[in-house]
Structure 1
Amino acid sequence: MTEPLQAVPRTLLEAVERAAALWPDRVAWRFDPGSELTFAEVDRLTARYAAALHVRGVRPGSRVAVLLRNQVEFPLTWLGLVRLGAAIVPVNARYQATDTAHVLAVSGADLVVTSPEFFSLLQTAGASNVVAVSDLSAHDGPAAPAYTPSADTTVNIQMTSGTTGRPKGCVLSHTYWMTLGGGMLSEFPHLNRHDVMLTAQPFSYIDPQWNLVAALLAGAELVVLDGFHPSTFWAKVREHEVTYFYCLAAMPTLLLRMPMDPADRRHRVRAVQCSAIPVHLHAELENRWGVAWYEAFGMTETGADLRVTPSDHDELVGSGCVGAPTSCREARIEPDTGELLLRGTGMMDGYLDDPAATAAAFEDSWFHTGDLARTDDAGRVYLVGRLKDMIRRSGENIAAREVEDVLLTHPAVRLAAVVGVPDEVRGEEVKAYVVADGVEGTELAAYCAEHLAAFKVPRIFSFHQDLPRTPSERVEKAKLAALPGAVEVVV
């Protein structure tokens, strides 16, 4: 049901305090496995975390890295930082030492909040100021000095991969979060206090975070799973009486591969939003679970940009359409390149300490997405490809150059080029074209695994005597697929 909307708070701090005042005894978060908290408890505990962080030197403008799994301490730390005017730097728990060291260096994090399982990793990554999150939760000292953030105060340094190959920090403000979260109430799916939302992605990603913000604004309950497990996912949806969830990448395909269950349609879900719904599986998804699946498009840099709504859902099932712009967004196609450009309020403030990358991304306030697209007569957008040299595997963005740089440090590798190839389950798989002597694909995969997160490691290796190159000695990736005589290894 759609309820009358109250004014959206200007900041996340206002959102926390407003939720505690309106719905103090309602369950705000339910971690499975883990604990549950009411909105009043979220308000009280985030104040405790703020006090503990203040004692450890966190001040307005500080940047604090958080390396935790899906546990209640993650968002408590995040909102504790909000109370101090400090910014969180979420760190992917799947990262190895090389990735982690880069994030810490690029972000300029003053402190790392983590759990004992990551102490050794952080030591290898060179982190010097590390605190166990249990020390924050156990704090019993005086409250931190009151701080009132403005709408443009930085809340996150959210890492994302760019075309240069290494992750860059997206600077996200309160306006970003209030625009994204507020739009989930004022527009479809019109979240409200009767909803139970569910997220299954790592909290270091943007999606669980906007789920949390939208739930705070709506007074909805948010269920947080420890990860995405296809065999038990719908059982959890039924157990928690979930009414809404968002998913992406390989998730719908993996769910469909699970055995049919007589209980498949016994649930309370009223809407599923999903990015990159497999076109040929869209109708099957809806038929099996008896609920509409709505395409949506967004980016870390821009928030929530395009979405299909109930008004045009039926005609667009299986079309690949990602919808029309939200009320805060404009979209257009660059006529010379076919690239999708976006403009509007509530986008990132830029890439951290990287004015050149920021200027390249924004042109006359239009953000270059790197996606090739077309529009129909109604202004709805259809993605047709990508300009950026990126691979999207199971929802993870992987910069080809980052993988290439690691391969080229192996003593046997003379030349390497990495591309994405279609994969039925993962969307894309990582394939490496390699010129090397006396080395097997399994050895190269193991070598990459020592330096990269597991999702970045190539699964396909194609060995050649040479690779096509331009006059400037860059590999011509467009010609790689046509190379003859490959010795190909799948690991």
Structure 2
Amino acid sequence: MTPAVKPDQAADTPTIPTLTALLAQRAVDAADGEFLRFGDGSWTFAEVDAWTSRLARRLIELDGIEPGDRVAIMLPNVVHWPVTWLAAQKAGAVVVPVNSSYQRADLDFVLRDSGARVVVTDEDHTALVGSVLAGEPGLEGVRILDVADDGSEAFADLAPDVAVEATTLANLQYTSGTTGFPKACMLTQDYWVRLGWLCAAATGLGDDDVLITSQPFSYMDPQWNVALALTVGAPLVMLPRFSASTFIADVRRHRATFFYVLGSMPTLLFKQPHSAEDRDNDVRMVFCSGIPTGLHAQLEERWGAPWREIYGMTETGVDLYTSFEETTTVGSGSLGHPVASKKARIVDPAGHEVAAGEPGELVVSGVPMMSGYWNRPEATAEVLRDGWLHTGDVAVRRPEGGIQLVGRIKDMVRRGGENVACVEVEAVLERDERVVGAAVVAEPDAVLGEEVKAFLQLAPGVPADRETARSILDEAAIQLARFKVPRYVEFVADFPRTPSERVAKPALKARAKQQPGTTHDFAVRRVQP
């Protein structure tokens, strides 16, 4: 098999600078080649190119979309998601991915912050979107496009005459990657094309491969899988959702050769009953962020393919990886080395590089990289300093030169594959009139890595019992996505505080450990695989 991008080409500038141009090229050189597969449907590169051109024209002519306008996508995993993503780019628009599990408060924030002009959604979400648009001043003019009848059939297959260049903004990708309310990373065409290019170089994939993805398309991972599929000219299989009990069967059925998993997914997969068919698959390689070190060798043995770490953030795309030829670090926790277009340092708070084996903050530079945070110059300046992006992750350099994570600076909970900003959950909890104060922390979890725990100080006279906890969480669930709702609740009389009157969370957790109170566990709220 001939790789689409050779390893020694990784640092080169991609030969085609935009996703829209990549799709147009594939529609010429691999017109009948399969591009997207979902459910019982399959679409070739030529068919998707034509569909996206029609939809782009519809967005321009019916919805009045102009270059730079924002188009929000609030859909579950369906073929319309990547089609709309590419169509909006052809129209010169900037896509705003919206988690399909968002409730009113989340959706309202993203639409307001992004300034979206159109929301592309489906029947299951139209009522929620409509109620937000109708009930909030300033959102009345936002249009809704239901993908069940996108109205694109009447338009020509020819792409609209809109200039799309490497520097053109493609996404406002919201992330809770740092402390605070969600911020939108400004991601260009170059960001996505380089990400696909680097992953193609790292894997050696070609047009004989088959990719498969199951994560929600509102997150960056399935999107870079689309960029990778366009880069190598291979089909991408889209699953509706991740299910640990059926994922490997889907991999086998679709004869997938490559997939990416993260967070709790490897552990959940490994906990499934062993089968004589485990090694009966076509998988050649797996990328993973957060391979359980104790399971790493067993994962490879069980499914007969190498698993390798890859590290990146929404802000940076991809930074570190371990090559598939490298076997000595299996099970070591090493993230490997920087990709060809990146540099990485481990620094102390003053910005000085620390010695090997000493912990410090991981900072990275190079491409791909976000252009900054949308409408947040101060936050951009805080994370991007002198050309280096400060990840907030604490790492050490290993004896062989690889990098290993040991912790993080951020006030975050990483629940499975989701990032939860503590301050966002606290703000929702504190809107409840029964709550005087809230402090949200990470609670270790064997499956998801971390769960969300809320310490709550109640107003006088409110009973500190399980029914109160349940009622408060039910109210929060109306405003927050499911994965953000705390699993654990512990009531406290007060909070230890810093001299600046902030809640001292380390002291709070230490006090809870030394003098444990009653912790109410709402395990039914666990994110389902």
| TM-score higher than 0.5 | yes
Q: Does 1:147 align with 2:147?
A: no
Match of 2:45 among 39, 44, 47: 39
Q: Does 1:287 align with 2:309?
A: no
Matches within 5 A, 1:212-361: 212-312=226-326, 314-336=327-349, 338-361=360-383
Identical-pair percentage = 45
Q: Does 1:456 align with 2:480?
A: no
Contact kept, 8 Å, 1:298 with 1:306, in 2: the verdict is yes
Contact kept, 8 Å, 1:297 with 1:306, in 2: the verdict is yes
Instruction: Quote the Cα distance in structure 2 between the aligned partners of 1:49 and 1:134.
Output: 13
Contact kept, 8 Å, 1:54 with 1:144, in 2: the verdict is no
Instruction: Quote the Cα distance in structure 2 between the aligned partners of 1:378 and 1:41.
Output: 48
Contact kept, 8 Å, 2:4 with 2:200, in 1: the verdict is no
Change (3 A) 1:331 1:221: same
Instruction: Quote the Cα distance in structure 1 between the aligned partners of 2:380 and 2:47.
Output: 39
Q: Does 1:175 align with 2:190?
A: yes
Deviates more, 1:445-454 or 1:392-401: 445-454
Change (3 A) 1:269 1:145: closer
Q: SS where residue 260 of structure 1 aligns?
A: coil
> 1:408, CA displacement in angstroms?
1.0
- Per-residue CA deviation, residues 255-303 of structure 1 (Å, 9 max, x unaligned), is 1111111100000101010001112221221221121111111111100
Instruction: Quote the Cα distance in structure 2 between the aligned partners of 1:358 and 1:336.
Output: 18
Aligned partner of 1:490 in structure 2 is: 521
Contact kept, 8 Å, 2:395 with 2:404, in 1: the verdict is yes
Using the size of structure 1 for normalisation, the TM-score is 0.96
Contact kept, 8 Å, 1:416 with 1:433, in 2: the verdict is yes
> 1:2, CA displacement in angstroms?
4.0
Match of 2:405 among 365, 383, 398: 383
What is the one-letter code of the residue matched to 1:252?
Answer: P
Instruction: Quote the Cα distance in structure 2 between the aligned partners of 1:308 and 1:276.
Output: 12
Instruction: Quote the Cα distance in structure 1 between the aligned partners of 2:309 and 2:66.
Output: 40
> 1:323, CA displacement in angstroms?
1.3
What is the one-letter code of the residue matched to 1:487?
Answer: T
Match of 1:203 among 204, 207, 217: 217
Matches within 5 A, 1:84-123: 84-123=91-130
CA RMSD of aligned residues (A): 1.5
Instruction: Quote the Cα distance in structure 2 between the aligned partners of 1:2 and 1:442.
Output: 57
Instruction: Quote the Cα distance in structure 2 between the aligned partners of 1:75 and 1:201.
Output: 13
Contact kept, 8 Å, 1:34 with 1:72, in 2: the verdict is no
What is the one-letter code of the residue matched to 2:51?
Answer: L
Aligned partner of 2:504 in structure 1 is: 476
What is the one-letter code of the residue matched to 2:106?
Answer: D
Q: SS where residue 95 of structure 2 aligns?
A: strand
What is the one-letter code of the residue matched to 1:317?
Answer: V
Aligned partner of 1:64 in structure 2 is: 71
Contact kept, 8 Å, 1:53 with 1:136, in 2: the verdict is no
Contact kept, 8 Å, 1:433 with 1:464, in 2: the verdict is yes
Aligned partner of 1:50 in structure 2 is: 56
Contact kept, 8 Å, 1:8 with 1:182, in 2: the verdict is no
Match of 2:386 among 356, 364, 368: 364
Change (3 A) 1:153 1:423: same
Contact kept, 8 Å, 1:176 with 1:348, in 2: the verdict is yes
Q: SS where residue 253 of structure 1 aligns?
A: helix
Contact kept, 8 Å, 2:4 with 2:205, in 1: the verdict is no
Aligned residues: 488
What is the one-letter code of the residue matched to 1:73?
Answer: H
Contact kept, 8 Å, 2:4 with 2:204, in 1: the verdict is no
Instruction: Quote the Cα distance in structure 1 between the aligned partners of 2:255 and 2:27.
Output: 23
Instruction: Quote the Cα distance in structure 1 between the aligned partners of 2:344 and 2:60.
Output: 42
Q: SS where residue 278 of structure 2 aligns?
A: coil
Instruction: Quote the Cα distance in structure 2 between the aligned partners of 1:456 and 1:2.
Output: 44
> 1:316, CA displacement in angstroms?
1.2
Deviates more, 1:129-138 or 1:356-365: 129-138
Instruction: Quote the Cα distance in structure 1 between the aligned partners of 2:240 and 2:305.
Output: 24
Instruction: Quote the Cα distance in structure 2 between the aligned partners of 1:241 and 1:5.
Output: 22
Instruction: Quote the Cα distance in structure 1 between the aligned partners of 2:124 and 2:40.
Output: 17
Consecutive unaligned residues of structure 2, counting only runs of 5 or more, are 7-13, 134-138, 351-359, 523-529
- Per-residue CA deviation, residues 438-489 of structure 1 (Å, 9 max, x unaligned), is 2432222212111100100110111121111112211101112222141211
Instruction: Quote the Cα distance in structure 2 between the aligned partners of 1:364 and 1:240.
Output: 46
> 1:144, CA displacement in angstroms?
6.0
- Per-residue CA deviation, residues 370-396 of structure 1 (Å, 9 max, x unaligned), is 100011244311000010111110110
